[in-house]
Amino acid sequence: MKTLRKLKMRYAGKELLLGILGIWIMFFLIYFGLLSEHTLLIAAGMGFIGILMAYVVLVQ
């Protein structure tokens, strides 16, 4: 049971990292003015999905 929790935390950490990375990329693109609607959608989607997956993994 302990190993399962540890595995979950590691997996959730990766998903959360993906989410934070997506948000960071979005801010980076905004800062340098390299933003088109398409790239914004990709970065925001990546961030949202990553955080959502981390939440689902932690709650289960």
This prediction has a pTM of 0.41
Q: State what percent of residues in the chain have pLDDT above 90.
A: 0
Q: Which domain holds residue 52?
A: 8-59
For residues 6-19, average pLDDT: 71
- Within a domain: residue 17? yes
- Within a domain: residue 2? no
- Within a domain: residue 1? no
- Within a domain: residue 55? yes
- Within a domain: residue 32? yes
Nearest to 21 by CA among 43, 38, 41: 43
pLDDT of residue 42: 75
pLDDT of residue 1: 57
CA dihedral for 40, 46, 50, 53, sign (positive or negative): positive
pLDDT of residue 33: 67
Considering its fold, how many domains does the chain have in total?
Answer: 1
Q: What is the pLDDT of residues 21-48, one digit of tens each?
A: 777 777 777 777 666 667 777 777 777 7
- Within a domain: residue 3? no
- Within a domain: residue 43? yes
